[in-house]
Structure 1
Amino acid sequence: MTKEEVGDGRDDMDVDRDEIEVRQGIVELGFDTNYLKLYYGKLFPHAEMFKWMSYGNDGKHPACDQSYIGRREFSFTLENDIYVRFQSFNSAVELENSIKEKCPFKIDIGPVYNVDPAKRHAYAQAGDNVFTPVERELIFDIDITDYDDVRYCCSGADVCLECWPLMTIAIKVIDTSLRDDFGFNHILWVYSGRRGVHCWVCDGRARRLTNEQRAAITDYFCVYKGNDNSHKKVSLTATALHPFLERSSKVLTPFFEEKLLHSQNLFASEERFEKVLELIPDESVAAQLRGEWQVKPRSSTSGEDLNVVRWKRLKTKMKAPGLRRCCEEIVFSYAYPRLDLEVTKHMNHLLKAPFCVHPKTGRVCVPIDPDRCEEFDPTTVPTLSTLLEELNREGLRDDTENEWDRTSLGKSISFFTSSFLQPLLKSCKEEMESSYNAKVQQSKNSLSW
């Protein structure tokens, strides 16, 4: 991490959230510390987050690992960029009280270590100085800025409904493979709050993967390669595509042809179609297409979009021997998911917690349903300001158990709980019970001898 670790915390903020009056119409767009205290006090799902991180080890079952949650690292980024790492909590109350007290601008979740991370120095002084992560969700980080060379509507951290579908396609491709190719079931996709998505694979098998195994999975997904100095970033040289690539192509190609061509006007100017022509290995074919397209385009008698006409022409030329894979390589170069591979490879990476509020946008990092991800609109995600306006507008109601049910955040927390957390915890309990029964049976068998 680039920011230095600090002590156990900072001075308490002197704003009492119960004394803050939020009046309808005065909440401004953006990020406000006082409003954040209200958010943590009334809307943040502390208990649900703790249940998730405990993975069933917060009960009284004899197979529970009572030290498990206390070995998980939580990191807070406080106001003025103060960074507090290696925090741990042994109960939901401890976690909630710390969040409310420190009011972090961002909460990051790290791995489960072999010892309590908050006491790692004491272990080192005792002579046991091996402080290492032993468990961590398999995580993926996909950022829209990594697509800046193929999107023309936005750049940098900006995102709109024309380029956001690149994230949708990434979710579809990666989620399907994680389930069908690797057999994972408990997968949480989360909007980063600004310009990308995060993926948490939470099956027991996934959490216990070694760094080497994680690297092998990243290699499996590593199709888009190369660097800024290489034109060709994707090579599909095999005679027959791997089943994963074949399946991905069936998702990427329609998206490229029906959405990306139009939304990004990929062939509308010489600067843009040159990027495509650079991906054609046969220079004579590229030169012929370049010569045709440099002529001022005439209006199409069929009324077809110029981008579609030129793409069809390119596909016709790609039927020549040795160029059969070129169209697929172009599609993959523009539309295939671009992963931050280092985040996935190593167990000790931190990742922003769901339901944080992004300080640049004020948007909440809400879960995304992979089965309906094409419906997700980042511009309508609940913001800190709108949530507090909703709380104020709704007032106190007796028909709601949780305050978030009075706001637009309620649906996101309900999805997180019913579609992700409950099935996950059920699986954890079953795995725990199975492991415990196996040990009991093994003990009985050894005694019978």
Structure 2
Amino acid sequence: MPHSVASEGSPASHKDNEVLPDAPPATDAPNGDQKNEGAAAEKTTAGVKLEDLFDDDDDDDNEFPASSAPVETKTEEAPGPAPVQVDTETMLAFYQRLFPFRYLFQWLNHGIVPSPDFGNREFALTLQNDAYLRYQSYPTADLFRKDILKMNPSRFEIGPVYNRNPRDRKTLGAGQLKPLAKELVFDIDLTDYDDIRTCCTKANICEKCWAFVTMAIKVVDTALRQDFGFQHILWVYSGRRGAHAWVCDPRARTLPDDRRRGIAGYLDLIRGGTSSGKRVNLKRPLHPHMNRSLEILKPYFAQTTLVDQDTFASTEQAQRLLSLLPDKGLNDSLRRKWESAPDRSSTNKWADIDALAKTGKSSTLNPATLRDAKQDIVLEYTYPRLDSEVSKKMIHLLKSPFVIHPGTGRVCVPIDIRNIERFDPLSAPTVTQLLSEIDSWDADHPSNGAAEVPEGEGSVPNASDAGGSRKLQDYEKTSLKPYIDYFRSFIASLNQEERDGKRERNEQTAPEVKSESMEF
């Protein structure tokens, strides 16, 4: 059933190879009469390549092979999903009817009254022809929504808050436009686990390998809260094979790049490639963060690494495991045992390490050294593998929550950290599914249609309803509702802290009022 779209949102037509110009002045809307500029001028910003500013999760949507094409597989790997092409009409209907513009504004604005926190924020639009339109900014949520409907981008990224309006950068002197704030962000991508996941590769994911993302989120979230004192951490599904963290505390947003590098380094553990020898070699006694992480990760190692992935089943991985053990005599005994039983499972091979160590066949074995090596192995196969470059620079652009992933058609929905174990990326709603859910709901409830207001404007009485109950907004008719409700509760908590902080600062800076006696 076709989905109706308003004429005001009709996308502007663009030539296939057109590179769009910079944003126009804030008083003018983008239009097709602007003079085009060369692509090279937009490829760098202060010496940083444009492609380095975007999250890596979407770099190659050709990783989705056609079902009929040969696919590089591992053990009984299912073929990857075919690329999903979201047509412009469907995308426009999503922006008009479902995208939470008002709540995204409140999140980035840190309140309901427009402020420079939103007005000086950079947005970068990826248009339907893959051209980038950078340095966009919007003083209000309504103008933001209007421009997105006009441009109908396939997605958009969020950048930093600048000291001046980023649209004006060409009228400013060199070095006058400076980033002031941006959420501290982290990126987890399952392709970084390809050397240890046996169920899927590249863009393919399943419940078994998504466990790597789950355990990574747990470790990173715990460290950010307990070791750095951050509270407002929004985790968002990337729409395909990973997750992003947005640390939104006021203190996190104003961190300079050197502090961001420090936090990224604190969380960085896996070093080098798979052929570079031991990738985890920690000093003892372990840092409290590593001790805590081990306790979180041990159950995942037992289930995900040893059972679900059966990581050490292959001869190559078994040899890799042996190379990480510290005693030659023990290694020789294990090698002989495993060569005599080539089908031995990873769980049994891991148990064999302690079993053969207890036999005393190796006179050089140090039990403490073996214990430490096993702990390092658990961490090497389960500890978060972060794209730390994403976290180190305030100017890095990251895909917005709630946009559509162009390769899967799935919405980049928030992940409720309280129910992280229950999150299923393959159940995240797709744009076509959501629009169909609206049609189905409207067909079943003909007397209670959509409210005639933009999303997020608030309750609207239903004049046709004698009880005065409001008409539902379109997202409330769909499986997107719990994700937007969670986002709203996150924003409410964050903005409450913003208000409390401003009130506290005002009280601290208020002039002292001397008390004087009153005479009657």
Interval containing the TM-score (normalised by the shorter chain):
0.7 to 0.9
User: Which letter does structure 2 place at the counterpart of 1:378?
Assistant: P
Structure 1 residue 29, shift from structure 2 partner: 6.2
Of 376, 394, 404, 2:475 maps to 404
Q: Which residue of 2 aligns with 1:49?
A: 104
1:277 and 1:318 map into 2 onto residues whose CA distance is: 13
Structure 1 residue 191, shift from structure 2 partner: 0.1
1:51-78 alpha-carbon deviations (Å, 9 max, x no partner): 111012726xxxxxx3332211011000
1:247-276 alpha-carbon deviations (Å, 9 max, x no partner): 110111111112321111112221221222
Query: Does structure 2 retain, via aligned residues, the 8 Å contact 1:30–1:385?
Result: no
Of 359, 362, 381, 1:334 maps to 381
Q: SS in structure 2 opposite 1:226?
A: coil
Q: SS in structure 2 opposite 1:141?
A: strand
Q: Judging changes above 3 Å, is the alpha-carbon distance between structure 1 residues 400 and 189 closer, same or farther for their aligned structure 2 residues?
A: farther
1:287 and 1:75 map into 2 onto residues whose CA distance is: 57
Structure 1 residue 228, shift from structure 2 partner: 4.7
2:274 and 2:217 map into 1 onto residues whose CA distance is: 25
Of 473, 487, 502, 1:416 maps to 487
Residue pairs, 1:91-106, within 5 angstroms: 91-106=140-155
1:437 and 1:57 map into 2 onto residues whose CA distance is: 22
User: Which letter does structure 1 place at the counterpart of 2:134?
Assistant: R
Query: Does structure 2 retain, via aligned residues, the 8 Å contact 1:139–1:201?
Result: yes
Structure showing greater radius of gyration is 2
1:164-200 alpha-carbon deviations (Å, 9 max, x no partner): 0100001111111111111111110000000100000
User: Which letter does structure 1 place at the counterpart of 2:151?
Assistant: K
Query: Does structure 1 retain, via aligned residues, the 8 Å contact 2:333–2:356?
Result: no
RMSD, aligned CA: 2.2
User: Which letter does structure 2 place at the counterpart of 1:251?
Assistant: I
Residue pairs, 1:406-445, within 5 angstroms: 406-418=477-489, 420-441=490-511
1:371-420 alpha-carbon deviations (Å, 9 max, x no partner): 211101111110011011111111153554321000100111011102x1
Residue pairs, 1:63-102, within 5 angstroms: 66-102=115-151
User: Which letter does structure 1 place at the counterpart of 2:290?
Assistant: L
2:175 and 2:283 map into 1 onto residues whose CA distance is: 48
Q: SS in structure 2 opposite 1:90?
A: coil
Query: Does structure 2 retain, via aligned residues, the 8 Å contact 1:46–1:92?
Result: yes
Is the counterpart of residue 358 in structure 1 residue 405 in structure 2?
yes
Query: Does structure 1 retain, via aligned residues, the 8 Å contact 2:404–2:431?
Result: yes
Q: Which residue of 1 aligns with 2:186?
A: 140
Structure 1 residue 317, shift from structure 2 partner: 5.2
Q: Judging changes above 3 Å, is the alpha-carbon distance between structure 1 residues 40 and 318 closer, same or farther for their aligned structure 2 residues?
A: farther
Q: SS in structure 2 opposite 1:324?
A: helix
Structure 1 residue 93, shift from structure 2 partner: 0.5
Q: Which residue of 1 aligns with 2:252?
A: 206
Q: Which residue of 2 aligns with 1:20?
A: none
Is the counterpart of residue 184 in structure 1 residue 199 in structure 2?
no
User: Which letter does structure 2 place at the counterpart of 1:408?
Assistant: S
Q: Which residue of 2 aligns with 1:58?
A: 113
1:255 and 1:163 map into 2 onto residues whose CA distance is: 11
Structure 1 residue 291, shift from structure 2 partner: 1.9
Q: Which moved more, 1:333-342 or 1:270-279?
A: 270-279
Q: Judging changes above 3 Å, is the alpha-carbon distance between structure 1 residues 242 and 400 closer, same or farther for their aligned structure 2 residues?
A: farther
1:197 and 1:272 map into 2 onto residues whose CA distance is: 27
Structure 1 unaligned regions, length at least 5: 13-27, 60-65, 299-304
Q: Which residue of 2 aligns with 1:15?
A: none
2:323 and 2:147 map into 1 onto residues whose CA distance is: 54
User: Which letter does structure 2 place at the counterpart of 1:414?
Assistant: D
Work out the number of aligned pairs and report it. Answer: 410
Q: Which residue of 1 aligns with 2:370?
A: 323
Q: SS in structure 2 opposite 1:273?
A: helix
Is the counterpart of residue 114 in structure 1 residue 169 in structure 2?
no
Query: Does structure 2 retain, via aligned residues, the 8 Å contact 1:237–1:325?
Result: no
Q: SS in structure 1 opposite 2:510?
A: helix
Q: Judging changes above 3 Å, is the alpha-carbon distance between structure 1 residues 178 and 313 closer, same or farther for their aligned structure 2 residues?
A: same
Structure 1 residue 163, shift from structure 2 partner: 0.3
1:22-44 alpha-carbon deviations (Å, 9 max, x no partner): xxxxxx96522210100000000
1:231 and 1:391 map into 2 onto residues whose CA distance is: 54
Query: Does structure 1 retain, via aligned residues, the 8 Å contact 2:124–2:135?
Result: yes
Determine which structure has greater relative contact order: mean sequence separation of CA pairs < 8 Å that are 6+ residues apart, divided by chain length: 1
Query: Does structure 1 retain, via aligned residues, the 8 Å contact 2:310–2:347?
Result: no
1:35 and 1:109 map into 2 onto residues whose CA distance is: 23
Of 207, 220, 242, 1:161 maps to 207
Q: SS in structure 2 opposite 1:112?
A: strand
Q: Which residue of 1 aligns with 2:305?
A: 260
Q: Judging changes above 3 Å, is the alpha-carbon distance between structure 1 residues 10 and 333 closer, same or farther for their aligned structure 2 residues?
A: farther
Structure 1 residue 142, shift from structure 2 partner: 0.6
